[in-house]
Amino acid sequence: MIEGKTKIVRRDPEVLSEADREHKHVVTWKDKFSEPMDGKGNWSNTTNANICEILRHSGLPVAFLHTTGPNTDRTLYCDMIPLEVIVRGQIDPESSYLERNPRVPVGVPLDEPLVEFFLKTDGPEWKGKHLPDTDPFITRYKEDVGIWVHHSKKPVTRGGEIFISAELLGWNKDGMWPFEQLEVMARRSFGIVRDAFRLYDFNLKDWKEEYGFGPDGQLLHSDSYDNDIWRLEDKDGKEYSKQVIRIHGVEGIEDSKADYAYIAHLTGEMLRLVRQT
């Protein structure tokens, strides 16, 4: 069993290639706050199933198999890549991107979505090597050599990177992380879902994805898709994401329940429309 902040994954002892996943009725924010949120697991489960089916319909490989209950689903068991992949369709005023690039235009849609990689860590170190920050920004990478990481909330400056070797990352011929393939998949998946939301006058500004290798070694979309992982607004500028809770804290949880429930419903409508095309 693997338990995270908002999910529990239980590998099937009889079918090792698959796992059961439970979406908790919990919301977390700013890496330090956690509160119960009645119904959230159900809404997250539904939204994730709808988004994964939209991606599958478009030919993208996903770990998700099917739902098994109100807040549970069945997935392929994946060897997860310790990366957070961020895709940005525009730079939001609250985005950490501005802390690294303070002079870029804000709120302007990007012709081509921007893809960024962050190393997932439990603290400011990786296997004993000191890092500039928890979950540092990967400034560049090179196969068979390693990656260079930088503080995620400071301007990127020449010489400010820290090198992590392929050996320390655990890379070998079969274990290197396919950055270029990840970038293509992330940009495509974001574009597909952004276009689906646009059919209902919603603007998907950015989102976070995670990937893993499935039982046959195939690279799969392995994250859960819900209001926790994106910035999303309607035509009037109303936010439908965890950003509301990040800003207002516990006081924003009750108001956010209707938003999570609505997006669970809306993505179901999106899926039905996409399947008709």
In a domain, 174, yes or no: no
Q: What percent of the chain has pLDDT over 90?
A: 86
On whether the pTM is more than 0.85, the answer is yes
Shared-domain flag, residues 194 and 75: yes
Out of 169, 197, 228, pick the residue that ends a domain.
169
Shared-domain flag, residues 61 and 188: yes
28 is in which domain, residue-wise? 2-80+179-276
Distance CA 199, CA 172 (A): 44
- Average pLDDT score over residue span 169-191: 94
Domain count across the chain: 2
In a domain, 128, yes or no: yes
CB 106 within 8 A of CB 123: no
Shared-domain flag, residues 191 and 74: yes
Shared-domain flag, residues 106 and 125: yes
Closest CA to 96 of 140, 136, 47, 62: 136
pLDDT tens per residue, range 215-226: 999 999 998 999
Shared-domain flag, residues 87 and 157: yes
Residue 73 has pLDDT above 90, yes or no: yes
Out of 145, 169, 193, pick the residue that ends a domain.
169
Sign of CA dihedral 70, 86, 31, 133: positive
Shared-domain flag, residues 189 and 272: yes
Distance CA 83, CA 121 (A): 9
- Backbone phi and psi for residue 205, each to the nearest 5 degrees, phi listed first: -85, -40
pLDDT score, position 258: 96
Shared-domain flag, residues 27 and 70: yes
Shared-domain flag, residues 211 and 242: yes
We report the CATH number of the domain holding residue 236 as 3.30.200.20
In a domain, 21, yes or no: yes
Shared-domain flag, residues 155 and 92: yes
Shared-domain flag, residues 136 and 220: no
Q: What percent of the chain has pLDDT over 70?
A: 100
**What average pLDDT does the structure give for the chain?**
94
- Backbone phi and psi for residue 79, each to the nearest 5 degrees, phi listed first: -85, 100
